[in-house]
Structure 1
Amino acid sequence: MVRTHPETGRRSLFVNPSFTVAIDGMDSAEGGELLAELHEHCTRPEFQIRHRWQPCDVLLWDNRRVQHFAVWDYWPYERSGHRVTVQGTRPFFDPEGSEPDESPLRVSIGRLA
């Protein structure tokens, strides 16, 4: 559940309610409780970046460090997206990796002309 970024060596939490469904070495009830706490923690507002969309906006993020969490607050408008996945490494853990970076994430937002 902790992964190492292949370029920076920094460790980060890697949990997702759709894919992380059990914890090795824990019974299902105890593991389920811990996973529920971790999932709730990852989606707290203070860890989110909100973007007010405008025509031609493009957002990119590094899934090796951040998680995408859509908030369904755009009604009456429609939301559409296109996922582009770059072939890369599988998640791994390096015990020699550095501690998670506490600094705010840098965000780049672009607009297609």
Structure 2
Amino acid sequence: MKKLLLPLSLVLAQMLAVSAFAQTKGGEADPEQSKGQTLPKATPAEKATAKAGRKAEGAAVAGQGVKPLAAQETGAGTAKAATKQERDAARAKRKATAAAALKKGEIPSGEK
């Protein structure tokens, strides 16, 4: 049994190692060809002209007076301001109608 177990384990290890080492890197045939072409770095003169263009565009937008969305005033409207006497009168009216409905039996109270 021991004589059979040792060669079988070596064969199994060799089979697993062969399949593991047969894998390509990244799943591609040639990783160098899959990379994109690198662009040359911009010279300081090109950077300066691009910056000047962006600066001019920003100044034009700022000169229009356009406000950012967060800075625009979007009020929720004006709330109706009720005085304390009006609120007290409304509360008393609601309380009276509820008491009348309870007295008539329209509003059930308690457990039945």
User: Normalising by the residue count of structure 1, what TM-score does the alignment of the two structures yield?
Assistant: 0.22
Greater C-alpha radius of gyration: 2
- Answer 1 or 2: higher relative contact order, Cα 8 Å, separation at least 6: 1
The structure with the greater share of residues assigned to helix is 2
